[in-house]
Amino acid sequence: MATEMTTHSESAPGAAAADRPLRKDAAENRTRILDAAGRVFANCGIDAGVEEVARVAGVGVGTLYRRFPSKQALIDELVGQHRRELVQIARAAADNPDGTGLEELVRATGELQVGHSGCLPRLWNHSDAEPEAIEEFRTHLADLLAQAQRCGRIREDVTHSDITTLFWALRGVTESSFAVAPNAWRRHLEIAFAGMRPVAGGAFSAQLRERPLTVAQMRKISK
């Protein structure tokens, strides 16, 4: 009995501390570090050191490590934030009943990629951050694609994996052209959607010849 009481008394303070919100200064430091990490990774790439992040944030490296025990933890928090934003984008797009939700989702996702270019290599793959959020996003994406096809806005042989590879393509355009032409991805997106419109007759009404990526292939690519 005494042992049980001792164990409880030792564990209770730790549990309470974990649930306690951050002090105002600690919360402000955390926000500054995340903002700085986003800017540093956007300017210098994901391989930039945490020392530069701390300098831009105006905090010591020790303070950074108290908030984020490793660089990977910092990256995962940024990616997790962006994935939660993707879910909000998808939920908003799902309110469109006329089949335009898919286009709204893809455009808004393109905007997010431009605004958070430093974490693009990890946004769609190579991160375990917020797996529930990215799965919910994919569910909404599949639903919006089906709705767009029912409304006659997207051809029937376009698949969920085709839209995912479109995100990858927009990422590549953004990374390659942003410094010179930050809106180049928009034109690429217009061309892509033009190619996905149903065609009633003629040479372009035939089924696509190449098979889409399978789920297994998508998962292998995303590892």
Which pLDDT does position 109 carry in this prediction?
93
Long-range Cβ contacts of 172-181 (<8 Å, 24+ apart): 174/110, 174/113, 174/114, 174/117, 174/120, 175/117, 175/120, 178/114, 178/117
Q: What is the pLDDT of residue 22?
A: 55
The pLDDT value given to residue 7: 38
Comparing CA positions, the residue from 218, 95, 216 lying closest to residue 164 is: 218
Distance between CA atoms of residues 72 and 128, nearest Å: 10
Predicted pLDDT at 126:
67
Residue ranges and CATH numbers for the domains of the chain are 22-69 (1.10.10.60), 79-223 (1.10.357)
For residue 175, which of 36, 37, 43, 56 has the smallest C-alpha distance?
Answer: 43
Instruction: Enumerate residues 6+ apart whose C-beta is below 8 A from 177.
Output: 184, 185
Q: How far apart are CA 94 and CA 100, in angstroms?
A: 9
The pLDDT of residue 69: 94
Torsion sign across C-alpha atoms 160, 172, 217, 209: positive
- Residue pLDDT tens, the chain, 223 long: 443 333 333 334 344 444 455 567 778 889 999 999 999 988 888 889 999 999 999 999 999 999 999 998 999 999 999 999 999 999 999 998 899 999 999 999 999 988 887 777 678 776 788 989 989 999 999 999 999 999 999 999 999 999 999 998 998 898 888 889 989 999 999 999 999 999 887 777 888 888 888 888 887 777 6
Of 105, 111, 112, 86, the residue nearest 153 (C-alpha): 105
The CA angle 161-166-169, to the nearest 5 degrees, is 130
